[in-house]
Chain A
Amino acid sequence: KNEVEQSPQNLTAQEGEFITINCSYSVGISALHWLQQHPGGGIVSLFMLSSGKKKHGRLIATINIQEKHSSLHITASHPRDSAVYICAGANFGNEKLTFGTGTRLTIIP
C-alpha cells in the first residue's frame, strides 16, 4: 500500500477556476513536498511543508498534521499551470521520498 495517496488523478478546469489537489499520507512521514512536472520531464519543487501553510504567488499549500492531509491550491488558474502535480512524503530520519501517483491538471483557455 502506497504511503502517499493523491487525488484526483486527472483534473480539467476552465481558466480562472480555483483548483484543489489533495494528498493523504501515512504515519512516519514528517514533511510533505509538492512538485510540478511539465511535459519533457523536468521537476520543479514548489513547496516543502511540515506544518501550517505556505504561499507563493497564486499557489497555496496547506498541511494538517493531525489528519495527515495536505492540499495544493491554485487561484486564478491559467493554461500555463497545466502540468502534473506530485506530492511526496519524506521522513526526517531518511531520504527515501515516497511519491503519490500525480494529478494531471489541464487548464482550458
Chain B
Amino acid sequence: KAGVTQTPRYLIKTRGQQVTLSCSPISGHRSVSWYQQTPGQGLQFLFEYFSETQRNKGNFPGRFSGRQFSNSRSEMNVSTLELGDSALYLCASSLDRGAEYGYTFGSGTRLTVV
C-alpha cells in the first residue's frame, strides 16, 4: 500500500512569506502528526490531528498552524516566515494513537527561507 506522501519535497521561500505543506497519510490512518527538524534543535513535535481535530500541540508560536480534512490529509501552514524556520518538516501517520499503534513517516519537505 502507498506510504505517507509529503509535498512538495523542496521549497525555497523569502522571509515574510507564508508556506503551506501537505501530508497524505496511509489509507485508513486517521492521525497525522507534524515535526520540525533543525540541526540546532533536532526533532520537535509541532502538532497532531485526529479526525479533523487538533488533539495535541507542541511549543511553537501561533505562526505555525495546521488542519486536517475529512479524507485525513493534513496541511500545515507557516506564516510570516523567518530564517529560523528553515528546516526539514516531517509528518507521520498512525491508525489512532501513534504511541500505541506506531507511526509511519513521510520523506519530509525541506524548507529553506532566504
Contacts and interface: CB of A to CB of B under 8 A. Distances in A.
Which secondary structure dominates where chain B touches chain A?
A: strand
Which secondary structure dominates where chain A touches chain B?
A: strand
A45 B42 contact: no
Interface residues of B, number: 27
Contacts of B100: 31, 92
B53 interface: no
Contacts of A97: 33, 35, 43, 45, 98-99, 103
B76 to A, nearest CB: 15
A21 interface: no
Nearest to B46: A96
Interface of A: 30-31, 33, 35, 40-45, 48, 86, 88, 90-92, 94-99, 101-102
